[in-house]
Chain A
Amino acid sequence: MLKAEDYRVDLKEIDGLKVNITSYRIGSTYYCHIDNVDPGAVIARSEGESHEEVIQATMARAMERLKPKVR
């Protein structure tokens, strides 16, 4: 049966905003999602073939999403 392996949650900051970076592997696929800590909604996610690849891809998406809004 499948299971999540290498599960970890790291608290980091992107442009001064706290985010949780959650990563794990299921089978041969690596997953990562980033949430905004409070309230914890996922703002970016990726899957890929290596840990580094999914972290980088998810970070890039999160940074785009967290850009200051122009009104």
Chain B
Amino acid sequence: MQLYANPEVLVSTDWVDQHRADPGVVIAEVDVDTNAYNEGHVPGAIGWNWQTQLCDVVRRDIISKEDLEKLLSLGGVSNDTMIVLYGDNNNWFAAWAFWQLKMYGHNNVRIMNGGRKKWLAEGRGITKDAPQRKTEHYKISDFHKNFRALRPQVEEALHGNGSVLVDVRSNDEFTGKILSPPGLPETCQRGGHIPGAKNIPWGLACNNDGTFKSQEELKALYEEKGVTPDKNVIAYCRIGERSSHTWFVLKYLLGFKNVSNYDGSWTEWGNMVGAPVEKGA
């Protein structure tokens, strides 16, 4: 991990096994499949539900400052706590949680490399018991709005301001062949992609065991498509979670200075009346 630009953002399954009960460390599981935590999880880990706890459940938005303060306080997280996130599907939604925590200024947050898949495959200990944690008083005093791209910034990127859009969905979604991944609800009116976007599916950043590819492999993956650290990069997918994974890779593993996640993503763009859409490769 030493060649990554910010290697400290990753911890290994071994490290978690040794430090999961340390004071000052809170392990949190965030899964795509919200049933997974109850099957069994890292002992001591709390579970966060991305559909009900890591977003605004009334309007479409990220979690509010007040709700995040409450969620963290109830989870026994103080402003000094190290939060270690992990989840299923190669840390897909763990990265979504990481993105929001960083946006709200929590500096000490890590991802367990390999996620839930690696932990289970290695036969490490699990429990079905949810931990009882002492409530803390978490206060948010910061917000890094540049970690997020909203629609106007994406529209500006279409007019040649030097930004590069990275569509991290599958090639079939990018070309417009399908409107949603197989088995998932179709949430857009039109298929295709934002004109000029480069298609680099998020999963290409991972090895089969769920860990992240090496710095050299990641650098080559993005450079091949012209996605380089000198550019302002905007990543998007369907609802913003796959792209938070790519945002993590570009910002923390490769050290890009200017990278943001357009969480409105295709469910916003592909439903907008009159929005320019490109189909095909």
Contacts and interface: CB of A to CB of B under 8 A. Distances in A.
A2 B33 contact: no
A42 B184 contact: no
B23 interface: no
Chain A contact-residue range equals 20 to 34
A13 to B, nearest CB: 11
A69 to B, nearest CB: 7
Contacts, number: 77
A40 B184 contact: no
B231 interface: no
Contacts of A35: 89
A26 B242 CA distance: 29
Interface residues of B, number: 31
Given A4-B40, A45-B33, A39 B203 contact: yes
Contacts of A26: 39-40, 126
B253 to A, nearest CB: 19
Nearest to B172: A38
Contact of B120 (A7, A38, A44, A69): A7
Interface in B72-107: 88-90, 92
A38 B126 contact: no
A19 B121 CA distance: 18
A34 to B, nearest CB: 9
A14 B203 CA distance: 21
A58 interface: no
A55 interface: no
Contacts of A5: 123
B169 A39 contact: yes
Interface of B: 32-33, 35-36, 39-40, 43, 88-90, 92, 120-121, 123-128, 169-170, 181-184, 186, 201-203, 237, 242
Interface of A: 1-5, 7, 17, 24, 26, 31, 33, 35-36, 38-45, 47, 62, 65-66, 69
Given A7-B120, A40-B92, A42-B32, 8 more contacts: A7-B123, A33-B33, A36-B182, A39-B203, A39-B237, A40-B203, A42-B88, A66-B183
9 closest A-B pairs by CB: A43-B183, A1-B125, A42-B33, A4-B120, A40-B89, A38-B170, A36-B182, A65-B183, A3-B123
